[in-house]
A = this chain, B = another copy of it.
Amino acid sequence: NVGITDFQTSHRTVQLPGLVNIAAFVPGLVVRDSGDLQSVTKASIAAGFSMIRVMPLGEGEGNFITDAKSLKIAQHNGKRGGYCDYNFSVTATSVNADQISLLAGEVGSLFIPFNHMSGKNISKVAAVQAHFEAWPTHKPIITDARTTDLASILLLASLQSRRIHVTAVTTKDDIKLVALCKKKGLNVTCDVSVYALYLSQDNYPDCSFLPTARDQAALWHNLATIDVFSIGSLPYQLAQKLGKPADAAVGIADALPLLLTSVVEGKLTVDDIMTRLHDRPKEIFELHDQVGTSLEVEIGRSYTVPETGPWSPFAGKVLKGTVQRVTFQDQVACLDGIAVEGSPQGKDMSTHGAMPAIATIASPALKPLG
């Protein structure tokens, strides 16, 4: 009943390192004693994601990490036990630029929201500039800015020689702008939500947050410009918009089977996926390699997206790839999408990584003079 059926068709097993979801949406992020982080990490490890970067904005008003107090609540929720490693970030607001540097050591990155569903968005160039000045230069900055806002923040990044990551690109114009900036030598990277590669406004005309069919074609056409595939808040937004139960885990299990199906169809290579769910995420966000962590995926094996569990727009559809086994900290954590009892716990990795490059270089042994 977890949807795996072996039709004995030709398929191949591939070993992959633990994957990274660089934009994990946790609806009850700063809701006291919410179990959402636990749900999300549980669904993540079963789906092959052994590390998730938690977006610092949850669902609804006031539900974001903007200061020490809100970070503490999120950290406290993490103490219930996570199933994979995770880290937190901090949200830029129009008033917290002078406080964020205090949190820099406790989070993985700064998120500058322009279009988040929570409505907690920045609109002023000056506010963004203040954040650029306050945030340590070696730590990542992420934004979901679009169109002119995107151009605006890319200008500031360029002027201040900051690298910046653009998350959840959905339009032709935006991916082209990122491509142009890369070509001109700007230090910009981007991700596209997996759902945005497989669902469009052709499927859901009322969902303006999805790409149009033309936009989606442009995303595929500009695959070389996409550094990372993410899960993001798009699945949750879609469930909400369609009046479906918006489970914290929505969209997570679909990601890899969707991408592996594209491998079978010749639209992606396994390396395209590896690059965008492991290599580039680790580089861009300076994440530790996770020792003793790997997964076994079966490419070409039929997988019917289950009608039970978290809602999925693909429920009932037959995809062509599955996650068979996940090994985490040298122990089997999941088999066929089912968590193994007593499997190891993930840790809050927020204080690791994103160190200045210089700090990782060991001092050379000094030769005694004379």
A residues lining the B interface (CB < 8 Å) = 123-126, 129, 147-156, 158-159, 172-173, 176-177, 180-181, 184, 186
Known: A148-B149, A149-B148. A125 touches B173 (CB 8 A): yes
Are A173 and B126 in touch, CB under 8 angstroms?
Answer: yes
A154 in complex: contacting residue of B149, B155, B173, CB < 8 Å = B155
B158 and A158 within 8 A (CB): yes
Closest Cβ neighbor of A159 among chain B residues: B184
Q: Check B147 against A125 for contact (C-beta < 8 Å).
A: yes
Closest 5 CB pairs of A and B: A151-B152, A155-B155, A148-B152, A151-B155, A126-B173
- Return 21 A-B CB contacts under 8 Å, by A number: A123-B147, A123-B148, A124-B173, A125-B148, A125-B150, A125-B151, A125-B173, A126-B173, A147-B152, A148-B148, A148-B151, A148-B152, A149-B152, A151-B151, A151-B153, A151-B155, A151-B156, A152-B155, A155-B158, A159-B184, A159-B186
Say whether, besides A148-B148, A155-B151, A126 and B176 are in contact (CB < 8 Å): yes
Complex: A125 Cα to B148 Cα, angstroms? 6
Partner of A124, one of B147, B149, B156, B180: B147
Chain B residue at minimum C-beta to C-beta distance from A151: B152
Q: Which residue of B lies closest to A185 (CB)?
A: B159
Q: A126 contacts which chain B residues (CB < 8 A)? A: 172-173, 176
- Extra contacts, 14 of them, besides A124-B173, A152-B152 (Cβ < 8 A), are A123-B148, A125-B177, A126-B176, A147-B152, A148-B148, A148-B151, A148-B152, A150-B152, A151-B151, A151-B152, A152-B155, A155-B155, A155-B181, A159-B180
| CA distance in complex: A172, B125 (Å) | 11
In the bound complex, CA of A176 to CA of B126 (Å): 9
Give every chain B residue within 8 A of A154 (Cβ-Cβ).
Answer: 155
